[in-house]
Structure 1
Amino acid sequence: MAQSKPRKMKPSEIPDFVSEIIAAGCDITAIGHDKYVLGDIEEQDAALEDLDRIGDKFGERDHLKLQIVAYLWSIGRYIELEIEGTRH
């Protein structure tokens, strides 16, 4: 029996994905310009069922990592990393 391909999230779904993560109680945040986190461990543990449901709904999203990060920056949900040796 052939296995079906896992669902891949579409770029147009990024705002809804982020909104659902926030609604689940997680503080999704971009870290620098190439990473993001769903929230701290306690938030993720408390929202485990919701996060599983959201993951099933939107599917694979690794291919959209930089686009998700860019969206988080655009809505002010980011932590800017300081480059070692520079001061602002």
Structure 2
Amino acid sequence: MADRRLMKASDIPAFVDRVIRAGCDICAIGHFNYCLGDIEEMVAAEDELQRIGEEFGDRDFLLTEIVAYLRTIGRYIDLGSGVSHWSENGSAQ
């Protein structure tokens, strides 16, 4: 099996943009996790998400950096905040 490419931290904004353009509502959940979108979005974008994963490579080790970036652009939900969608934060982009 060939070595899988590792995503660079500098690729995070482009990765997030591609996921959004694929139709997924990516957002951080708290300070330590994120989701690509709801299950229906992910199923509809399955092929494109596969291509994105192949293009950008393994990103698991960048979890906290991806979460931090999503938070800086307002795409986050804090658990227990009463916010049901990241766009309700008031700072969303």
Moved over 6 A (4+): none
RMSD: 1.1
Taking the aligned partners of 2:4 and 2:48, their CA distance within structure 1 comes to 19
- Work out which of the residue numbers 8, 11, 35 in structure 2 matches 1:10: 8
Percent identity, please. Answer: 58
Q: Which one-letter code corresponds to 1:60 in the other structure?
A: D
Gaps of 5+ in 1: 84-88
How many residues get paired? 81
Give ranges in structure 2 of 5+ residues lacking alignment: 82-93
Post-superposition CA distance 1:31-76 (Å, at most 9, x none): 0000000000000000011000000000100000000000000000
In structure 2, what is the Cα distance between the partners aligned to 1:4 and 1:56? Answer: 12
Tell me, what secondary structure is at the counterpart of 1:30? strand
Provide the rounded CA distance (Å) in 1 between the counterparts of 2:2 and 2:23: 31
Larger Cα Rg: Structure 1 or Structure 2?
1
Q: TM-score, normalised by structure 1?
A: 0.89
- Report the alpha carbon displacement of residue 82 of structure 1 after superposing the two structures with TM: 2.4
Given residue 57 of structure 1, which amino acid in structure 2 is its aligned partner? E
Taking structure 2 as the reference length, what is the TM-score of the superposition?
A: 0.84
